[in-house]
Chains A and B, each alone.
Chain A
Amino acid sequence: MTGTFALVRLALRRDRLLLPVWIMMITGAIAATASAIGELYPGMAQRVALGVTIGSTPALQALTGPVFDATSVGGLTAWRATTLATGLVGLMSIMVVTRHTRAEEETGRAELIGACAVGRHAIPAAAVIVAGGANLLIAFLLTVTLIGQGLPGSGALGFGLAVGGTGWVFTGIAVVAAQVTEHARTANGLAISVLGLAYLLRASGDAAGVETLAWLSPLGWAQRVRAFAGERWWVVGLLALTGLLLVGLAALPARRRDVGAGLLPPRLGPSDAAPSLASALALAWRLQRGGLLGWMIGFAIGGAMFGSLAQSVGDIVNDNPQLAAILERIGGAGALVDTFLAAVMGLLGLAVGGFAVQATLRLQGEEAGIRAEPVLAAAVPRWRWTLSHLVIALGGTPIIITAGGLAAGLAHGVRTGEVGEQVLRLLGAAWVQVPAAWVPAGIAMLLFGLLPRLTALAWAALVAFALLAQLGELLQLDDWIRSLSPFAHLPQVPGGEVSAAPLLWLTAVAIALALVGVAAFQRRDLAGY
Chain B
Amino acid sequence: MLLTSIVERREVWSATSYRTGFREAPMSGNPAILISGLTKSFGRVRALDGLDLTVDTGEVHGFLGPNGAGKTTTLRILLGLLRAGSGHAELLGGHPWRDAVELHRRLAYVPGDVVLWPTLSGGEAIDLLGRLRGGLDQRRKKALLELFDLDPTKKGRAYSKGNRQKVALVAALASDVELLLLDEPTAGLDPLMEAAFRECVTEERGNGRTVLLSSHILSEVEALCDRVTIVRDGRAVESGTLEQLRHLTRSSITAELDRIPDGLAELAGVHELAVSGSRVRFEVEADRLGGALRLLTDAGVRSLTCQPPTLEELFLRHYQSAS
Query: Which residue of chain B is the closest to A523 with respect to CB atoms?
Result: B83
CB proximity to A under 8 Å, residues B105-154: 105, 109, 111, 113-121, 123-129, 131-134, 138, 152-154
B234 to chain A, nearest CB (A): 16
B60 located at the interface, meaning its Cβ lies under 8 Å from any Cβ of chain A in the complex: no
A321 located at the interface, meaning its Cβ lies under 8 Å from any Cβ of chain B in the complex: no
**Do A272 and B76 touch (CB < 8 A)?**
no
**Do B157 and A182 touch (CB < 8 A)?**
yes
Q: Name B118's contact: one of A182, A375, A377 (CB within 8 Å).
A: A182
**Do B128 and A266 touch (CB < 8 A)?**
no
Given A376-B81, A525-B81, verify A272-B124 contact (CB < 8 Å): yes
**Do B123 and A269 touch (CB < 8 A)?**
yes
Q: Name B124's contact: one of A260, A269, A378, A528 (CB within 8 Å).
A: A269
A39 located at the interface, meaning its Cβ lies under 8 Å from any Cβ of chain B in the complex: no
Q: Which stretch of A65-73, A205-213, A233-241, A365-373 is in the interface?
A: A365-373
**Do A373 and B81 touch (CB < 8 A)?**
yes
Bound-state CA distance A4–B124 (Å) is 39
Bound-state CA distance A287–B125 (Å) is 12
Q: Which stretch of A82-90, A277-285, A435-443 is in the interface?
A: A277-285
A501 located at the interface, meaning its Cβ lies under 8 Å from any Cβ of chain B in the complex: no
**Do A379 and B154 touch (CB < 8 A)?**
no
Most A CB atoms within 10 A — which of B113, B124, B126, B138? B124
B100 located at the interface, meaning its Cβ lies under 8 Å from any Cβ of chain A in the complex: yes
B101 located at the interface, meaning its Cβ lies under 8 Å from any Cβ of chain A in the complex: yes
**Do A379 and B102 touch (CB < 8 A)?**
yes
Bound-state CA distance A273–B115 (Å) is 18
**Do B123 and A378 touch (CB < 8 A)?**
no
Size category of the B interface is: 35 or more
B70 to chain A, nearest CB (A): 12
**Do A370 and B111 touch (CB < 8 A)?**
yes
Query: Which residue of chain A is the closest to B83 with respect to CB atoms?
Result: A525
B195 to chain A, nearest CB (A): 24
Query: Which residue of chain A is the closest to B73 with respect to CB atoms?
Result: A528
Given A277-B127, A283-B128, A381-B101, verify A267-B155 contact (CB < 8 Å): yes
Chain A residues near B80 (CB-CB < 8 A): 376
Chain A residues near B125 (CB-CB < 8 A): 273
**Do B100 and A381 touch (CB < 8 A)?**
yes
Given A260-B157, A525-B82, A525-B83, verify A378-B121 contact (CB < 8 Å): no
CB proximity to B under 8 Å, residues A281-297: 282-283, 286-287, 290
A526 located at the interface, meaning its Cβ lies under 8 Å from any Cβ of chain B in the complex: yes
Query: Which residue of chain B is the closest to A372 with respect to CB atoms?
Result: B81
Given A268-B121, A378-B104, verify A279-B132 contact (CB < 8 Å): yes
Given A279-B132, A379-B133, verify A268-B82 contact (CB < 8 Å): no
Most A CB atoms within 10 A — which of B80, B109, B125, B128? B128
**Do B119 and A271 touch (CB < 8 A)?**
no
Binary contact readout A237-279 vs B (1 if CB under 8 angstroms, 0 otherwise) = 0000000000000000000000011000011111111000111
**Do A271 and B109 touch (CB < 8 A)?**
no
Bound-state CA distance A374–B130 (Å) is 10
Bound-state CA distance A437–B157 (Å) is 34
Q: Name B79's contact: one of A266, A270, A377 (CB within 8 Å).
A: A377
Given A369-B115, A374-B168, A377-B81, verify A270-B104 contact (CB < 8 Å): no
Q: Name B101's contact: one of A183, A271, A379 (CB within 8 Å).
A: A379
Bound-state CA distance A85–B118 (Å) is 35
Size category of the A interface is: 35 or more
Given A287-B117, A373-B81, verify A266-B155 contact (CB < 8 Å): yes
**Do A378 and B133 touch (CB < 8 A)?**
yes
**Do B109 and A374 touch (CB < 8 A)?**
yes
Query: Which residue of chain A is the closest to B112 with respect to CB atoms?
Result: A529
Chain A residues near B131 (CB-CB < 8 A): 273, 277-279
Bound-state CA distance A465–B122 (Å) is 42
Chain A residues near B126 (CB-CB < 8 A): 273
**Do A271 and B123 touch (CB < 8 A)?**
yes
**Do A371 and B115 touch (CB < 8 A)?**
yes
B95 to chain A, nearest CB (A): 14
B173 to chain A, nearest CB (A): 14
B301 located at the interface, meaning its Cβ lies under 8 Å from any Cβ of chain A in the complex: no
A111 to chain B, nearest CB (A): 11
B120 to chain A, nearest CB (A): 7
Bound-state CA distance A524–B42 (Å) is 12
Chain B residues near A260 (CB-CB < 8 A): 157
B202 located at the interface, meaning its Cβ lies under 8 Å from any Cβ of chain A in the complex: no
**Do A266 and B115 touch (CB < 8 A)?**
no
**Do B153 and A268 touch (CB < 8 A)?**
yes
Given A373-B81, A375-B132, verify A270-B101 contact (CB < 8 Å): no
Chain B residues near A326 (CB-CB < 8 A): none
Bound-state CA distance A286–B168 (Å) is 20
Q: Name B119's contact: one of A287, A369, A528 (CB within 8 Å).
A: A287
Chain B residues near A524 (CB-CB < 8 A): 83
B14 located at the interface, meaning its Cβ lies under 8 Å from any Cβ of chain A in the complex: no
B100 to chain A, nearest CB (A): 7
A453 to chain B, nearest CB (A): 13
**Do B123 and A371 touch (CB < 8 A)?**
no
Chain B residues near A290 (CB-CB < 8 A): 119
Chain B residues near A266 (CB-CB < 8 A): 154-155, 157-158
A380 located at the interface, meaning its Cβ lies under 8 Å from any Cβ of chain B in the complex: yes
Chain A residues near B121 (CB-CB < 8 A): 268-271
Given A279-B132, A378-B133, verify A271-B118 contact (CB < 8 Å): no
A352 to chain B, nearest CB (A): 23
**Do A371 and B117 touch (CB < 8 A)?**
yes
CB proximity to B under 8 Å, residues A467-501: none
Q: Name B132's contact: one of A267, A379, A528 (CB within 8 Å).
A: A379
**Do A370 and B113 touch (CB < 8 A)?**
yes
**Do B81 and A380 touch (CB < 8 A)?**
no
B72 located at the interface, meaning its Cβ lies under 8 Å from any Cβ of chain A in the complex: yes
Bound-state CA distance A526–B76 (Å) is 9
Given A273-B124, A381-B101, A525-B82, verify A374-B111 contact (CB < 8 Å): yes
Interface residues of B (CB under 8 A from A): 72, 76, 79-83, 100-102, 104-105, 109, 111, 113-121, 123-129, 131-134, 138, 152-155, 157-158, 168, 171
| Shortest Cβ-Cβ A-B pairs, 4 listed | A269-B121, A273-B127, A378-B132, A271-B123
Q: Can you spell out 12 A-B residue pairs with CB atoms less than 8 angstroms apart?
A: A182-B157, A266-B158, A267-B155, A269-B155, A277-B124, A371-B116, A376-B81, A379-B104, A379-B134, A380-B104, A525-B81, A525-B83
Interface residues of A (CB under 8 A from B): 106, 182-183, 260-261, 266-273, 277-280, 282-283, 286-287, 290, 369-371, 373-381, 523-526, 528-529
12 other A-B residue contacts (CB within 8 Å) besides A260-B157, A278-B132, A279-B131: A268-B154, A270-B123, A287-B119, A370-B113, A371-B115, A375-B129, A375-B132, A377-B81, A378-B133, A379-B133, A523-B83, A528-B72
